[in-house]
């Protein structure tokens, strides 16, 4: 498996494989990391370069789950954050998403202390408007020694 930032011209192939790239385009220096096996995209993760940075939109194609793809994407994002001088990486996870909570817990993420956020309404993503009604937990990990 090879993980690298999404290159210009690769988005079409990633979307055709079934990955959403929901947060394209941003133009603020944030970027997607994509996991590849040969020419096949397996999963992606978006690194938003806020302060602290936030890992978003981690998604792995169903046939490639439980092979460590999300783990490798998260670790790659931690290295990217640390290389930019950040000591913390945050993620938000739905209160109902047990798989994601198990993943991030196994990777050392813990509650940031920020209260749960209720999100409700319409958000604009690459493919158009999306209705959301969710409660998000903010977790974080110290990546300074990554």
Ligand X SMILES: CC(C)(COP(=O)(O)OP(=O)(O)OC[C@H]1O[C@@H](n2cnc3c(N)ncnc32)[C@H](O)[C@@H]1OP(=O)(O)O)[C@@H](O)C(=O)NCCC(=O)NCCS
List interacting residues with ligand X (CB under 6 A).
Answer: 58-60, 65-71, 93, 97, 99-100, 102-103, 106
Q: At closest approach, how far in Å is the CB of 24 from ligand X?
A: 17
- Shortest Å distance, C-beta 137 to ligand X: 10
Q: How far is the CB of 85 from ligand X (least distance, A)?
A: 25
Q: Which is nearer to ligand X, 71 or 146 (CB)?
A: 71
Residue of 41, 8, 20 whose CA lies nearest to 125: 20
Shortest spacing between CB 70 and ligand X, in angstroms: 3
Token pair belonging to 67: 């092979």
Of 30 and 71, CB closest to ligand X: 71
| Closer to ligand X by Cβ: residue 99 or 119 | 99
**Cα within 13 Å of Cα(118), Cβ side:** 1
Q: Who contacts 61 (Cβ-Cβ below 8 Å, separation ≥6)?
A: 17, 18, 19, 41, 42, 43
Question: Within 56-106, where are the H helices?
Answer: 69-83, 98-106
Minimum CB distance to ligand X smaller for 45 or for 82: 45
Location of structure tokens 């793809």: 69
């Amino acid at each position: 498996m090879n993980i690298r930032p999404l290159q210009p011209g690769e988005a079409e192939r990633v979307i055709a494989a079934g990955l959403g790239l929901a947060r394209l385009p941003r133009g603020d220096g944030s970027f997607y990391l994509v996991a590849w096996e040969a020419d096949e995209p397996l999963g992606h993760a978006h690194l938003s370069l806020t302060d602290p940075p936030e890992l978003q939109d981690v998604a792995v194609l169903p046939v490639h789950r439980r092979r460590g793809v999300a783990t490798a994407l998260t670790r790659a994002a931690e290295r990217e954050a640390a290389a930019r001088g950040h000591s913390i990486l945050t993620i938000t996870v739905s209160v109902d998403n047990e798989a994601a909570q198990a993943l991030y817990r196994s990777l050392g993420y813990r509650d940031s202390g920020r209260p749960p956020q209720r999100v409700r309404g319409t958000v604009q993503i690459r493919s158009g408007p999306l209705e959301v009604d969710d409660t998000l937990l903010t977790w974080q990990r110290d990546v300074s020694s990554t």
